[in-house]
Amino acid sequence: MSRCSGRKIREKPLQMEEMTMADIAMPDTYGRLVEPTTLKIERLLPGPVERVWAYLTESDLRRRWLASGEMWLAAGAPFELVWRNDELSNPPGRRPEGFSEEHRMASRIITVVPPHRLVFTWGEGAEVSIELQALGKDVLLTLIHRRLADRTTRLNVSAGWHVHLDVLAARLQEEEPGPFWETWLGLKEEYEHRIPQ
């Protein structure tokens, strides 16, 4: 590398396998509506892709950032997600009124292409698609949540995925995440300004 005006100038382009998170433009960590009822959120995470895939599909790892629940990785296979958000950070912060200590939701796998794509149902009628793309030593996670019925649901789900992906990023970096509930409440307020009426 040569130097010019105090900045490093790369003499030849990086090969994909040589890239790091610092070399790749970080996508905005905030989710956005790409259709009136569809949320898209992207995160650049430390790889390799197989490790991130394990955090998506293995109950013991997934419970550390989202929800537990054994998954049989086959199209049509049912599974249950079990949230215990108070266990995701220490301290968890004060749980908002109306939220229980545990929440369960029945789901079903629609598509699975290890270790790159997982699509599953979300409650009654909604659908989540998660794609992983290796970018050098890192992984671009693209999450699309379809059929979010109303604005309240869009706000809660946007803030929810955002904070859960923050926790995932911290776990992959072997760091302790910030207080879950305070972060979620702050993000919900931020999404109030970002999600149209």
- Rounded to 5, what percent of the chain is helix, strand, coil? 30, 30, 40
Angle subtended at Cα 39 by Cα 33 and Cα 45, rounded to the nearest 5 degrees: 115
Residue 146, beta-bridge partner list: 127
Nearest in space to 110 (alpha carbons), one of 126, 96, 124, 121:
121
pLDDT, tens digit, 9 for 90 and up, residues 77-123: 999 999 999 999 999 999 999 999 999 999 999 999 999 999 999 99
> Which pLDDT score is estimated for 22?
41
Residue-level pLDDT at 124: 86
Give me the residue spans of the domains in the chain.
37-194
Q: Evaluate whether the domain defined by 37-194 bears CATH number 3.10.450.50.
A: no
Both tokens assigned to 65: 């950032």
Contact 138, 26 (CB under 8 A): no
Q: Is the dihedral of CA 51, 54, 59, 62 positive or negative?
A: positive
